[in-house]
Structure 1
Amino acid sequence: MKAPAAVSAPGTTAGERWRLGRDRPSRRVVIAALLGNGAIAATKAVAAFVTGSSAMWSEAVHSVVDTGNQLLLLHGMRRAARPPTPRHPFGHGLELYFWAFMVAVLIFGLGAGVSLYQGVEKIRAPHPIQHVWASYVVLLSAAVFEGSVWLLALRTFRRQTRRLTLLQAVRASKDPTIFTVLFEDTAALLGILVALAGVTASTVLDNPIYDGLASIVIGLILAATAMLLANECRSLLVGEAVSPEVTADVRRLVLAQSEVSGINELLTMHFAPREVLLNVSVSFVPSLPAGAVQDAVSRMEGLIKQAHPEIRRVFIEAQRV
C-alpha cells in the first residue's frame, strides 16, 4: 500500500527574494568587482593606446570582459530571484547557473580569442613599446585593486567552506557568483604578472616579440579559466545533489523516527545555491494507522527544514507493507 504525502516549503514573493539577494555577501563581491574592473578597463585601454603594447591591449580586453561578466552575474542573480510560476513551478534559480556559464563563454570567446590574436599579430609585425612607464603604473595599480577584490572574494568563499581545501570548496560550492569572481581575479592577477614580465623583457632586451608572447600566454590563461568555469557550471546546470554530509544527516533524521522502518530512495537537487528539492521514499512499520503516518511525515518535514534551511521543498512518499 502506498500513501504519498508531499509537502512543499512556502515560496517567497519577488520583492522578498530580491531583498534577500541584495544582502548576500556574494552580491557585494560582484558589485565591487564590477566597479573596479570598469575603471581599470578604461585605464588599461588608454595605456595600451599610448604604449602600443599588445600585452596591455590583452589586459584591457580582459578587464572589459570581466566588467561584462559582472553585469551578466548581476542579471542572473536578479532573474534567479523571481518567484515560481505555473510554467516554472520550482522557481528560476537555475538561471543563475546559466548566466554563469555564459560568463565562461564570454571569457573564452572574447578574452582568450582577442588576446591570442593580439599576440600573434605582435609577433608577425613587431614594434617597440612607447612610454613604457605608463604600462608599469597601470599594471601595478591594477594589481593592487585586483588583489583586494581577490582577497574579498576568497574570504567570503572560505567563510562558506572552512573545512575544505580550496579545490574541494570550488567543487562543492553551489554559488557560482563567488567562485566566478575568484576565478576571474586569479586569472587577472596572473595576467598582470605575465604582462609585466612581457613589457619588462621587451624593454630590457629591446625585442618586442616578448610583448606578443606575453599576450599569447594571457590568452592561454583565460582559455584555461573559461574551461574550468564552464565545467563547474555544466555540473550545476544538469543538477547537483547536496553534499554527502547533508544527505547523511537527512537520512539520520528520517531513520530516527520510530514509525520509519527504512528508506527506499533519497534524492536531492539544487535549484539555486540555497534552494534544494528533497524527494524521499520512506517505508513505515506495518499496520501503522494513516494518522500516525501523516504525523510522522509532518514531523520529519519540520526537523529536516530546521536542520537544513536550504531544503525548501520536501516530497515524502510514504509506503506501508
Structure 2
Amino acid sequence: MSASGGTKAIVAALAANLAIAVAKFVAFLFSGSSSMLAESVHSVADSGNQGLLLLGGKKAQREATPQHPFGYGRERYIYAFLVSIVLFTVGGMFAIYEGYEKIHDPHPIEAWYWPVGVLVFAIIAESFSFRTAIRESNEIRGKLSWTQFVKRAKAPELPVVLLEDLGALVGLVLALGGVGLALLTGNGVWDGIGTLCIGVLLIAIAIVLAAETKSLLLGEAAGVEEVEKIKAAAVDGTVVTRVIHMRTLHLGPEELLVAAKIAVEGNDTATEVADAINAAEARIREAVPIARVIYLEPDIYRPEAAE
C-alpha cells in the first residue's frame, strides 16, 4: 500500500467524522435520541482512531536504532490494534449500555427533524469518505476480493478505514431505522433497539480488526507471489543453483526480511560465492523492492538434509 493513499483515506475519514460528530451531538441535545448519542460517541471514537493511525504512521518512519535494529515499521500494526480496542470499548460497549438504558426507560424523541436531518447529512458525508477508501484500495487490491484484501493486506490503514466507514454507514442506517420506528410508533424502545444494534455491529467490526492486526503483530510472511519472485531472483543457474529453504517476515508494511540458505557448488571459491550472494541480493531487491533486509547463507545441497 502506498503511504500516501492510506494517508489520504485516513484524512478524508477524519474530516468526515469530526463534522459528523459535532452534528450528531447537536441533534442529540435537541432530540434526546439514544441512537444519536451512540452515533455521536461512535464518530468521536472513529475520529480518535484515525488520529491513532496517523500517529502510528508517523512513528513508524523513525530511523533504526541499536535497540531496534530493524526499525519501527510495526508501530503501524500496534496503533491499528489500538483502534480495534477503542472501537470495542468506547464505541461498542457504550452503545450497548445506552441502548439497554433506553429500552428500560424509554422516552419519546423530541424535535424529530434534528436527528433525521443529521443522519441524512452523516450518510452523505460518510459515503464520500467510504468512496475515497474504496478508490485508494482499488489501486492496490488487484484481483483480490474485498474479504481477501482485508485478510491479506500487510498495510493496516486502508482495511481499518474501510471497515470503519462500512460500520459507520450501516450504523447510520440502523440509527435512522431506530429513530424512524420510534417516531412512527411513538415508542422510544425502538430507539434503544437501534442503539443496541449499533453496539453489536461495532463490537463485531472491532473483533475482526483485532484478529487481523494480531496476525500482523505476530509476524506474517511475504505473499505467495513475492516468495516465488524471491526464489526465482536468488538463483542464477551458475553459482547459485537453488534455494534450499527460505523464511520471510514483514518488519513493517513496506519492509520485508528475507533469510535463505542457497546452494552453491563445492568447487566455487570464496570470492565467487561472495560475488554471487551480492548479485543475488541485488536481483531480489529489484524483483521485490520491499525486500530491504536480506541474509543469504551458502551451503552444499544435500537432498536428504534439505527442509
Q: TM-score range by the shorter chain?
A: over 0.9
Alignment correspondent of 1:91: 71
1:300 aligns with 2:280: yes
CA distance in 2: counterparts of 1:23 and 1:242, whole angstroms: 18
- Is the 8 Å Cα contact of residues 98 and 237 (structure 1) preserved in structure 2? yes
CA distance in 2: counterparts of 1:276 and 1:270, whole angstroms: 5
- Secondary structure in 2 matching 1:169: helix
The alpha carbon displacement at 1:122 in A equals 0.3
1:187 aligns with 2:167: yes
Q: Report the number of matched residues.
A: 301
The alpha carbon displacement at 1:173 in A equals 0.3
1:24 aligns with 2:37: no
Gaps of 5+ in 1: 1-20
TM-score normalized by the length of structure 1: 0.91
1:317 aligns with 2:268: no
- Secondary structure in 1 matching 2:65: coil
CA distance in 2: counterparts of 1:243 and 1:183, whole angstroms: 22
Alignment correspondent of 1:123: 103
Alignment correspondent of 1:68: 48
My pick for the range that moved more, 27-36 or 249-258, is 249-258
Alignment correspondent of 2:34: 54
**Which whole-Å deviations, capped at 9, do the CAs of 1:86-107 have from their partners, x for residues lacking one?**
0000000111100100000000
The alpha carbon displacement at 1:186 in A equals 0.3
The alpha carbon displacement at 1:275 in A equals 0.7
Alignment correspondent of 2:129: 149
Percent of paired sites with the same residue: 36
* 1:221-260 equivalences in 2 (<5 Å): 221-260=201-240
- Is the 8 Å Cα contact of residues 235 and 280 (structure 2) preserved in structure 1? no
Counterpart residue type for residue 218 of structure 1: I
Which structure has more relative contact order (CA 8 Å, sep 6+)? It is 1
CA distance in 2: counterparts of 1:54 and 1:129, whole angstroms: 9
CA distance in 2: counterparts of 1:66 and 1:237, whole angstroms: 22
Alignment correspondent of 2:305: none
Alignment correspondent of 1:272: 252
CA distance in 2: counterparts of 1:306 and 1:40, whole angstroms: 45
1:101 aligns with 2:81: yes
My pick for the range that moved more, 195-204 or 21-30, is 21-30
The alpha carbon displacement at 1:22 in A equals 10
- State which of 139, 146, 168 in structure 1 corresponds to 2:148: 168
CA distance in 2: counterparts of 1:298 and 1:181, whole angstroms: 40
The alpha carbon displacement at 1:256 in A equals 4.0
My pick for the range that moved more, 261-270 or 273-282, is 261-270
The alpha carbon displacement at 1:294 in A equals 1.1
The alpha carbon displacement at 1:68 in A equals 0.5
- Is the 8 Å Cα contact of residues 95 and 199 (structure 2) preserved in structure 1? yes
- Is the 8 Å Cα contact of residues 257 and 296 (structure 1) preserved in structure 2? no
**Which whole-Å deviations, capped at 9, do the CAs of 1:23-79 have from their partners, x for residues lacking one?**
611111111111221111111011011111111111000000001001111111111
CA distance in 1: counterparts of 2:196 and 2:215, whole angstroms: 29
TM-score normalized by the length of structure 2: 0.95
Alignment correspondent of 1:15: none
CA distance in 1: counterparts of 2:232 and 2:243, whole angstroms: 10
CA distance in 2: counterparts of 1:97 and 1:290, whole angstroms: 41
1:113 aligns with 2:89: no
Counterpart residue type for residue 249 of structure 2: M
1:262 aligns with 2:232: no
- State which of 179, 187, 190 in structure 2 corresponds to 1:199: 179
